[in-house]
Structure 1
């Protein structure tokens, strides 16, 4: 029975984080498009360095902490609302705020196909908070759900780099393969984190997100 439940949870998680799930992730690059334009990302090595920085000490680390807190707090409506408000406030630019909030809203709307009371208390929430809370509500283990979430976000950024012409598809796969151990380790660390562990130091990435707002020609909304 446990094996069947675990398999069902895995399939559900794969559905939620599939590129086909209607959250519009393909439309956003989180400032990566600006980094490509500036020459900071120009090949597989520089893309890998950029993603490792985001995962270790950038917005993806903060998202992981917020995801874990939302996953733990799904039954506490007041606490969950506080986490959602904090996540919205932590956005470093207008585009970053729009990206995470619109994806969170789209995720919650699509997740209503799996009814649960938690959806009633999350009218608006940043993307990691929305996914974390819903995963917790459906009994999906936090560390596994967080690893899958981080992999999905990293995959979208790799896809953005491919569409920007910085790397090819083979290099993109190689980058994702190289990130596996880091994502697994980060999920384990972040799943045991608290909000006191929030913090980032990727100033160049934050500036890229801000500057993207005025990039003359662009493919992405962020």
Structure 2
């Protein structure tokens, strides 16, 4: 059965983006770009210790480690927190937002991971307020009531700007994996081509993790990456360090 709409046909077979879609894409690309000054380049999420310990030594082992962190560790959990914060803002549910923010701030395995996610979250919020302010943003920031970790910061700012949840989660996970690969490339080290091969190999895992996180609730939170958590803990006392986590 054919369905008809009042929308004009696409030009040259292409579907046209609305101005709202264009604005959302522009902002996500800006906020989650490596050039956005949240200091992501300073952190390795424990990768520095994993490289020193011999767990990661080439592109293949880096890919396997990151796939686990993404699907069964901090990647999935952060995406769930982003989604929950985004939904709370959309629903104008201040109590739910505060609970998400508090849980996310407590849901870290080490002091350095706490430093990493809280520092990036604070920077993201401050820059958004200074350069990308919008109606209601100050209110939802205040509703968090305390520390705003990075995924919650991305969730509330995206929702305040009316950017849909699905692309926000996908873009966040892509940026997260890209930063991990950048750290790995400097530590192993890897060449640019091998780094891109790792990123390409993780495309399906990023998409699958995003879908799981969007469909998940806070009850689904959990991590199975014990070795990565140990890496984060050991990094605190690592003798020689390039990264802050």
- Pick the TM interval, shorter chain: over 0.9
CA distance in 1, matches of 2:207, 2:30: 20
Work out the CA distance in 2 between the residues paired with 1:34 and 1:166.
14
Query: Residues 63-82 of structure 1: matches in 2 within 5 Å?
Result: 63-74=78-89, 75-82=92-99
1:86 equivalenced with 2:100 (yes/no): no
Alignment correspondent of 1:114: 132
Q: Say how many residue pairs are matched.
A: 222
Bigger fraction of residues in helix: 1
Q: Would the aligned equivalents of 2:32 and 2:172 in 1 still touch at CA under 8 Å? A: yes
Report the equivalent of 1:149.
172
Structure 1-normalised TM-score? Answer: 0.96
Once residues 64 and 214 of structure 1 are traced to their aligned partners in structure 2, the CA distance between those partners, rounded to angstroms, is: 29
Question: What is the match of residue 194 of structure 1?
Answer: 217
Give, in whole Å, the separation in 2 of the partners of 1:183 and 1:160. 18
- Asked if structure 1 preserves the Cα contact closer than 8 Å seen for 2:82 and 2:154, the reply is yes
Q: Which structure 2 residue ranges, 5 or more long, are not aligned?
A: 1-15
Q: What's the counterpart of residue 15 of structure 1?
A: 30
Provide the rounded CA distance (Å) in 1 between the counterparts of 2:21 and 2:170.
Answer: 15
Matched residue, 1:133 = 156
Shift of the alpha carbon at 1:141? Answer: 1.4
State the superposition RMSD in angstroms: 1.3
Q: Secondary structure at the match of 2:36?
A: coil
Post-superposition, which runs of at least 4 consecutive aligned residues in structure 1 deviate over 6 A?
none
TM-score relative to the length of structure 2? 0.87
In structure 1, the partner of 2:42 is 27
Quote how far apart the aligned CAs of 1:2 are. 5.9
Please list every run of 5 or more consecutive structure 1 residues that lacks an aligned counterpart in the other structure: none
